[in-house]
A and B are shown apart, each in its own frame.
Chain A
Amino acid sequence: DQQVKQNSPSLSVQEGRISILNCDYTNSMFDYFLWYKKYPAEGPTFLISISSIKDKNEDGRFTVFLNKSAKHLSLHIVPSQPGDSAVYFCAAHSPKAMNNNAGNMLTFGGGTRLMVKP
């Protein structure tokens, strides 16, 4: 049973428009959420994160929104650029790992392939 789901395997957007990538989770214990971006033949790279005590975090063209009651987060990219074309993974962190005085452990969604057309 996937605890983190990205229901859209792909998304196509015109350059300059907004890209909205969605992620749903089932575990209410998740308290920190991250988005990673992955280009072909490279490892994922961290993009933006949000703590569960916030509902919005913004970094330049990237904004992440968190709706805890709906167990839903989204990544907005405005304006979208062709260089944003990549696979985007959302990930969730559980505090149980923290309470064990151990490092962070992430559960990843299946990814959404974003294609930004010039």
Chain B
Amino acid sequence: DAEITQSPRHKITETGRQVTLACHQTWNHNNMFWYRQDLGHGLRLIHYSYGVQDTNKGEVSDGYSVSRSNTEDLPLTLESAASSQTSVYFCASSRGVWETQYFGPGTRLLVL
């Protein structure tokens, strides 16, 4: 069955370190998204991509970057982790306009 996976599921890192969270989907979806979930804020869009070599900034993109070298993967990089980036991160994908977004299981990141 097609799916969307995230790794690692849990990560503890130190302030200032670079961290990369992986997202992989096997639906061959064009659109991929990264969100963070924080109490009281719901899900906020970090970055998104509408296809290979396409990346766009979302609502809370500062301190994060993404790259899209193939259809299946959209890794999220925290260039210099900060305590404010402690959160749960969700990756999602969708086929196209009006299509439902399918979410991965999430990565819980703790920045000490």
Contact = CB atoms under 8 A, between A and B. Distances in A.
Contacts of A49: 100
Contact of A43 (B31, B98, B105): B105
Interface string A4-45: 101001000000000000000000000010101000011111
B104 A43 contact: yes
Contact of B97 (A89, A97, A108): A97
B30 A44 contact: no
Secondary structure class of chain B's binding surface, majority of residues:
strand
Interface residues of B, number: 27
Contact of A102 (B44, B50, B90): B50
Interface residues of A, number: 28
A106 B42 contact: no
Given A46-B101, A89-B42, A110-B41, A103 B30 contact: yes
A45 B101 contact: no
Given A89-B42, A103-B30, A105-B48, A43 B99 contact: no
A103 B31 contact: yes
